[in-house]
Structure 1
Amino acid sequence: MTTTDTPAFPSGTILGYPRIGRRRELKKAVEAFWAGRIDAAELEATAAGLRQATRERLSSLGLGRTDSSIPESFSFYDQVLDAQVAVGAIPARFADLVDGDGHLDLAGYFTLARGAGDNLPLEMTKWFDSNYHYLVPEIGPETHFHLASDRIVREFEEAVANGFITRPVIVGPVTLLLLAKPSSDAPAGFHPLDRLADLLPVYAELIERLAAAGAQWVQLDEPGLVSESIDIPRDETLAALAQAYDALGGLTTRPALFVAAPYGSLDDALPVLVATPVEAIGLDLVRGTVPTIVPGLADVTLVAGVIDGHNIWRGDLAGAFDTLGELSALSENIAVSSSTSLQHLPHDVEDETKLAAELTGWLAFADQKIGQVATLARGLTSGLSAIRAELDAATASLADRRGSPGVRDGAVRARLDTLTPADFSRGDYETRLAAQSQALRLPPLPTTTIGSFPQTGDIRRARARLVSGELAAEDYRDVMRAEIGRVVQLQEDLGLDVLVHGEPERNDMVQYFAENLDGFAVTENGWVQSYGSRCTRPSILWGDVSRPQPITVEWSSYTQTLTEKPVKGMLTGPVTILAWSFVRDDQPLGDTARQVALALRDEITDLEAAGIQVVQVDEPALRELLPLKKRDHAHYLDWSVGAFRLATAGVADRTQIHTHLCYSEFGAVIDAIRNLDADVTSIEAARSKMEVVQDIQTSGFDHGIGPGVYDIHSPRVPGVAEITELLERALQSIPARQVWVNPDCGLKTRGYAETVASLGNIVDATRAVRATLV
């Protein structure tokens, strides 16, 4: 494509939009399909309706109907899964799901995500430093790349039929391969990036098909280019980048190429990308900064991600417009966008009727972010005077927020000022281990669960009736106590060693604490996709944090009266509370984390005083927040580890502190996890078939460790033989005295039938392995 062929890039756009529906319509339809209540045709019809409603909504908010400003970014489950299915990267164990033409139907698509029978699903892990989870491709020398799905083309054609020229979005080839893992048949030393030359013709065919359908622009998402955490030498990544976009840019019949690189700065990848024939480059200028002059940059459209797609604050529009001015010195071709896809945000602040009006005025959800993009785009084309009123209103909102009561609490800040190094440290681990062994008297390979048990419809209805006032607080307490009694008896019957109360009173592991801590607010409809059909409502951390009264002590102490076995008190850690909330952006994260840690420290002190001997402080997000740039790692790990230690260091030696990390790539932060100094750490390990234990062995990790043996993100029930094999693999690398046995994660989203069967198999397998120990 020559320069004269290039269509104009829209002056304002976004990189993606929430796809679950304003009232989680997609979630409900997908789960109905899984349950057999609707068929594939009805699911497709629901999805088509949602896509069209999204296009109309985005148009009404200021994006153009026919200028490619609306991204076609829908997914039934996950954008990485979509890309691997499109290029035919189906693991051999799922070969029977593919038809004679190499295609996969919707049922097969979901089977890759959820598993079936003895076939484990694709692994799941965090999408860069967000709380979104993607499905990890498995690619080897044997993977046969071919255009196996043209869904992206059909969805573009659907848009055209409805009067829109949208911009198709797909994960770029370099990021797809960087995020993939070698297949089980791949030889040692192989990496999926080795297959780039074989993959590019498939991307080329897809791009040419989009051109034939009338697409003017296509968006290729390449966040892998900004990350330094991917285990590939940087020079190989940069060479792959040049190879990929020289090839795709060299196609004679294609749409214009827009390569987006969210979640950080491109750094040394920018000049490499500029040297290829791509027409537009997306820069995250919220996480990154305006780059220095690069030869050829003036010939490329720079799509400036100055509107934060990762957080919900209204922000500094005047500052964003100034950034656009800085960027205009590098190129005359400037456009405005969100810094990331808006899939990380709820739909609309206007859906929130119970938030304080003052707080609402500080916020911008996805729809408001689009309005901000449209405002700045108008400023680019019509000048500053055209948008002065909107900029001034945003500036006034910032000032109002800074001066509002509760944003700064003198008592909280004074307490932080008095902390000493002793507040962050416990005693010697071996001394603690001896005290805990005597106090708890657990068998080898102690069994436990991560915390939550299935939340039934009755539990959710009782909670809803309490909120609506239909159920009195004392009656609700009776319902919860009855459920706790059932959960304790179930665990006793199964033979588990360390019990939990099941958390029936909790709506969410972060929101529950947010509702009981000062400095937080919660939403009614602020749903955000976490993975697949799983959605959460991140809380809003807007001010200084403190604990007005105990939160969990009543439930845990009641549970302990029902059993002679130890009961775990269950808390969510400070880093995870931050990661899974929308956090204030007016002070360093470390300061906010220490405030949360002090509130949790008070809670742990009260649990210990109530006779709880084991306390679990979950930190599944520890790896998630690890910065993508290595230069930022040390600072992050210092404050994140410090916050956990501040929360947990006030207990006696005999009190056992657990933590839990799920889908967190244990090996990448093993030193940090050791520095947490928890007595026991439970981790995800089932989907990867205990791959993590090699990292544990190599590191010399010597505290208690519970590598998960039951993948709770899949509906399949692992058999006794499968669990036994996983335990035996763990014991080949880790001394038995360290090993605990547990699921990968909490059981909240599972049903009771599969939970009971799986936990029963865990206990049976553990007893069999125990019998082999000397």
Structure 2
Amino acid sequence: MAFPKTGNLGFPRMGAHRELKFALEGFWSGKQDEASLLSVARQLRTEHWKLQHAAGITTPPSNDFSLYDHVLDMVATLGAIPKRYAHQGGPVPLATYFAMARGSANAPAMEMTKWFDTNYHYVVPEFEPGMKYALLSAKVVDDYLEAKSLGIETRPVLLGPVSFVLLGKPTDNNVTRTSVLEAILPLYSTLLSQLQAAGAEWVQIDEPCLCLDLNDEARLFYQKAYAILRGVVSPKLMLTTYFGDLAENLDLALSLGTEGLHLDLVRAPQQLEALTSKEINGPHLSLGLIDGRNVWRTDLDHAVTQIESAVAHFGADKIQIAPSCSLLHSPVDLDLEHSLDPEIRSWMAFAKQKLDEVVLLARSIGGKDKIAAELQTNAKILTSRRSSPRIHREEVQQRLDAIDSPMLQRHGLYPARRKTQEKALALPFLPTTTIGSFPQTTEVRKARAASRAGKLDAAAYENFLRQETERCIRFQESAGLDVLVHGEFERNDMVEYFGEQLEGFVFTSNGWVQSYGSRCVKPPVIFGDVFRPQAMTVQWSTYAQSLTSSLVKGMLTGPVTILQWSFVRDDQPRAQTCQQIALAIRDEVQDLEAAGIKVIQIDEPAIREGLPLRRADWPVYLAWSVDCFRLATSVVRDETQIHTHMCYSEFNDIMDAIVRMDADVISIECSRSRMELLDAFHRVRYPNEIGPGVYDIHSPRIPSGKEMEDLLRKALEVLTPQQLWVNPDCGLKTRGWEEVRHALTAMVHTAKQVRASLSA
């Protein structure tokens, strides 16, 4: 079989209408049995394979589908099951699989963190002493054979062994990554041999860690691992890299002896020139020319130029066209967007349309003239976008030009602000609060949907929201929380809500992408200059504050997170777009303070997520991202307390930047990592206040008061009581009221007990 001219690295799992999300949640709630869940999954796989095959993708991927997370799938496949789940060997039951992801009554969930610099969360493998690695699942083979039974030849996808090891964590000093790699390589060899026996000609082996800064040990891992894998009878391997530049690791990748190499030429187009300059007869090349992480049409003429360069050096028979990375990070189908602004819609492409672009570009390998008409149409669309008066606004540019250093500075330094705030806010030590949102119940979602559909008039919907807000305030008062929130019942999503009220954004109806498990988000699309036409949150914050004598936090999403969790315009630097958003949030912060709100939280969970993969690029990013946060927050008086929130990130490498953010209080996810993340704050002697989460809200499991107390005591080993806040690790919108009542009541009770013991 000739080398396929078209490829795809992965397809969205949830379904065009989020079928998998609803099936999963039905299964978890007991409303749907295992057979029904697996039936939905099988139907989606079939639908996706047929869609890609019909589009002209020669070998669509298999094993890219997952019921929760592809890294967790490899955990289950390789038998890396932590002891606390009491797995007795053999295939991993769904109950155990989901317990690892979500926790159970007897065992907390495994840690989650961001998949490189995306908003997708993966489950972090744990490498324990005495862990018995074994091949417990044939999922990759089964999926390949399932597609083959439909008459569709696929390219199975495996997370590579070295990336699996580097992305996981040894839980004990006696466990080394070297020993883990040695234990799992025979299992990978067996999987590859099984795929060969099943008839697979190619296997996609993902090694995204090749785009990171690698130390000598990691480089040796790659050399040893692929020397072993190339020594077994197996299909041809497409070594797949994405999200960045191989750079100095290019020679390493070429030395591994795989028959194919995929390059992300959207994030790092310079890689093609680096490869062609070597003048080698290298592997088959998969050119990642279609942006798998954004929604804009491809500049086809520019892509054809890259193809022509690759063909000239390596020959047409060695070139394949593909997206830059898995389309997991893209919405499914632009054809479903019937209400999207037609002009802006014409500038866009979702996963289905990106496959069409892949196939179209592959036709150009035989000569650019074969797609002359399509190139002309594409050029007209791109020109209309660049010249549209809807994109650029002079008044926004004038505000950017007026930004100066004083606008990035609080009036007083933190020690002075702290004294002022102690007097103004009169909080006890170990103050209790939540991160912001409260349960988005079925009733809340129904009311929002009815309002959007025009079935519930504005006055009735506002009255409903007022009742929900008051109910939330009364519960927090009865639970004894020190700083309250209004619950955010009017908000659909922490980014979408703000984007809907800012100019320069548009919104899709079905542009869902997976964040983790069944959790989907619908990122706004930033197409033009951003500004705030009017106040966005003041009404609900001041209403909530009018209901209580307790402090109520104003709740905002920070500029970097709005940027990171949107599909961002690609016609200007991201830093400039972020500055525009920061100015809009700055205006909101100023209005909240003027309205009497004394505590304002500006969440920035995505600052670490946005960190470039290469350390050499960190200083520039951290400079502008932190400056944007400070631009948004530094407008307030010293007595106004600024909070921020971050979750599911490794902070060790960016602590200097977090200190420079100069938030009065930072809350972080800590419960899953058992306060491990506090070590970074302890090492730099973080001077401000910290709320390390003591309650994992991403799990339905309700922790006991004893567990929370243990976490608080552990936090007090590295923090002073005056620094420590007590809170969950994230917002509560995905939880139910019953579990929230129990968990928060226990949390406040625990905080009071610890507070009393420290005062004794």
User: How far apart are 1:516 and its partner, in Å?
Assistant: 0.4
Residue of structure 1 in register with 2:633 after alignment? 648
Residue of structure 1 in register with 2:236 after alignment? 256
What fraction of aligned residue pairs are identical, expressed as a percent?
48
1:97 maps to 2:80: no
* Distance in structure 2 (CA, Å) of the matches to 1:327 and 1:438: 67
> Where do residues 372-771 of structure 1 align in structure 2 (5 Å cutoff)?
372-380=357-365, 382-426=366-410, 427-771=412-756
Q: Is the 8 A contact 2:61 2:155 kept in 1?
A: yes
User: How far apart are 1:392 and its partner, in Å?
Assistant: 2.1
> Where do residues 156-305 of structure 1 align in structure 2 (5 Å cutoff)?
156-183=144-171, 186-187=172-173, 190-228=175-213, 234-251=215-232, 253-288=233-268, 289=270, 290=272, 291-293=274-276, 297-305=280-288
Which digits, 9 at most, give the CA deviation of each residue in 1:484-507, with x for residues without a partner? 000000000000000000000000
* Distance in structure 2 (CA, Å) of the matches to 1:756 and 1:659: 24
* Distance in structure 1 (CA, Å) of the matches to 2:667 and 2:651: 10
Q: Which residue identity is paired with 2:87?
A: L
Which of 74, 77, 80 is the matching residue for 1:86? 77
Q: What TM-score comes out, normalization by structure 1 length?
A: 0.96
* Distance in structure 1 (CA, Å) of the matches to 2:227 and 2:262: 17
Which of 322, 330, 336 is the matching residue for 1:345? 330
* Distance in structure 2 (CA, Å) of the matches to 1:456 and 1:501: 15
Residue of structure 2 in register with 1:3 after alignment? none
User: How far apart are 1:61 and its partner, in Å?
Assistant: 1.5
What SS is found at the alignment partner of 1:529?
A: strand
Q: Is the 8 A contact 2:99 2:107 kept in 1?
A: no
* Distance in structure 2 (CA, Å) of the matches to 1:684 and 1:408: 38
User: How far apart are 1:465 and its partner, in Å?
Assistant: 1.2
* Distance in structure 1 (CA, Å) of the matches to 2:396 and 2:278: 51
Q: Is the 8 A contact 1:242 1:273 kept in 2?
A: no
Q: Against the structure 1 CA distance between its residues 113 and 215, is the aligned structure 2 distance closer, same or farther, given a 3 Å change threshold?
A: same
Q: Is the 8 A contact 2:504 2:527 kept in 1?
A: yes
* Distance in structure 1 (CA, Å) of the matches to 2:298 and 2:197: 41
* Distance in structure 2 (CA, Å) of the matches to 1:295 and 1:578: 37
Which of 3, 9, 19 is the matching residue for 1:15? 9
What SS is found at the alignment partner of 1:311?
A: coil
* Distance in structure 1 (CA, Å) of the matches to 2:208 and 2:77: 19
Q: Is the 8 A contact 1:87 1:146 kept in 2?
A: yes
Which digits, 9 at most, give the CA deviation of each residue in 1:719-771, with x for residues without a partner? 00000000000000011111111100000000011111111111111011101
Q: Which residue identity is paired with 1:24?
A: R
Which digits, 9 at most, give the CA deviation of each residue in 1:604-628, with x for residues without a partner? 1110111000000000000000000
Q: Which residue identity is paired with 1:143?
A: M
User: How far apart are 1:8 and its partner, in Å?
Assistant: 3.3
Q: Is the 8 A contact 2:276 2:310 kept in 1?
A: no
Residue of structure 2 in register with 1:136 after alignment? 124
> Where do residues 68-87 of structure 1 align in structure 2 (5 Å cutoff)?
68-87=59-78
Q: Against the structure 1 CA distance between its residues 298 and 141, is the aligned structure 2 distance closer, same or farther, given a 3 Å change threshold?
A: farther
Q: Which residue identity is paired with 1:256?
A: K
User: How far apart are 1:508 and its partner, in Å?
Assistant: 0.3
* Distance in structure 1 (CA, Å) of the matches to 2:560 and 2:432: 26
User: How far apart are 1:225 and its partner, in Å?
Assistant: 1.2
What SS is found at the alignment partner of 2:483?
A: coil
Which digits, 9 at most, give the CA deviation of each residue in 1:677-728, with x for residues without a partner? 1100000000000001221111111101111000101000010000000000
Q: Which residue identity is paired with 1:271?
A: D
Q: Which residue identity is paired with 2:314?
A: S
* Distance in structure 2 (CA, Å) of the matches to 1:26 and 1:119: 25
User: How far apart are 1:330 and its partner, in Å?
Assistant: 4.1
Q: Is the 8 A contact 2:553 2:597 kept in 1?
A: yes
Report runs of 4+ in structure 1 exceeding 3 Å deviation. 69-72, 292-297
* Distance in structure 1 (CA, Å) of the matches to 2:668 and 2:185: 36
* Distance in structure 1 (CA, Å) of the matches to 2:573 and 2:278: 35
User: How far apart are 1:667 and its partner, in Å?
Assistant: 2.1
1:38 maps to 2:32: yes
What SS is found at the alignment partner of 1:737?
A: coil
Q: Is the 8 A contact 1:245 1:273 kept in 2?
A: no
Q: Is the 8 A contact 2:290 2:322 kept in 1?
A: yes
User: How far apart are 1:322 and its partner, in Å?
Assistant: 1.0
Q: Which residue identity is paired with 1:86?
A: T
* Distance in structure 2 (CA, Å) of the matches to 1:107 and 1:622: 34
Name whichever of 710-719 and 104-113 sits farther off.
104-113
Q: Which residue identity is paired with 2:144?
A: F
User: Which residues of structure 2 form unaligned runs of 5+?
Assistant: none
Compute the RMSD of aligned alpha carbons: 1.3
What SS is found at the alignment partner of 2:550?
A: coil
User: How far apart are 1:354 and its partner, in Å?
Assistant: 1.1
Which of 15, 26, 33 is the matching residue for 2:20? 26
Which of 289, 307, 311 is the matching residue for 1:306? 289
* Distance in structure 2 (CA, Å) of the matches to 1:47 and 1:69: 17
User: How far apart are 1:193 and its partner, in Å?
Assistant: 4.1
Q: What TM-score comes out, normalization by structure 2 length?
A: 0.97
Q: Is the 8 A contact 2:62 2:144 kept in 1?
A: no
* Distance in structure 2 (CA, Å) of the matches to 1:11 and 1:423: 53
Q: Against the structure 1 CA distance between its residues 257 and 436, is the aligned structure 2 distance closer, same or farther, given a 3 Å change threshold?
A: same
User: How far apart are 1:672 and its partner, in Å?
Assistant: 1.0
User: How far apart are 1:73 and its partner, in Å?
Assistant: 1.1
User: Which residues of structure 1 form unaligned runs of 5+?
Assistant: 1-6
Q: Is the 8 A contact 1:14 1:71 kept in 2?
A: no
Which digits, 9 at most, give the CA deviation of each residue in 1:92-133, with x for residues without a partner? 111x2344xx22112211111011124111100000000000
Q: Is the 8 A contact 1:451 1:500 kept in 2?
A: yes
What SS is found at the alignment partner of 1:530?
A: strand
Q: Is the 8 A contact 1:304 1:335 kept in 2?
A: yes
What SS is found at the alignment partner of 1:583?
A: coil
**Aligned pairs, how many?**
753
Which of 146, 153, 178 is the matching residue for 2:134? 146
Which digits, 9 at most, give the CA deviation of each residue in 1:65-101, with x for residues without a partner? xxx344441111000001111111111111x2344xx
Q: Which residue identity is paired with 1:236?
A: E
Q: Against the structure 1 CA distance between its residues 383 and 331, is the aligned structure 2 distance closer, same or farther, given a 3 Å change threshold?
A: same
Q: Is the 8 A contact 2:82 2:128 kept in 1?
A: no
Residue of structure 2 in register with 1:116 after alignment? 104
Q: Which residue identity is paired with 1:79?
A: H
Q: Which residue identity is paired with 1:172?
A: G
* Distance in structure 2 (CA, Å) of the matches to 1:348 and 1:156: 24
User: How far apart are 1:213 and its partner, in Å?
Assistant: 1.0
Q: Is the 8 A contact 2:62 2:147 kept in 1?
A: no
* Distance in structure 1 (CA, Å) of the matches to 2:729 and 2:18: 26
* Distance in structure 2 (CA, Å) of the matches to 1:512 and 1:77: 26
* Distance in structure 1 (CA, Å) of the matches to 2:379 and 2:431: 56
What SS is found at the alignment partner of 1:771?
A: helix
Which of 331, 334, 358 is the matching residue for 2:314? 331
Residue of structure 2 in register with 1:50 after alignment? 44
User: How far apart are 1:191 and its partner, in Å?
Assistant: 3.5
User: How far apart are 1:328 and its partner, in Å?
Assistant: 3.0
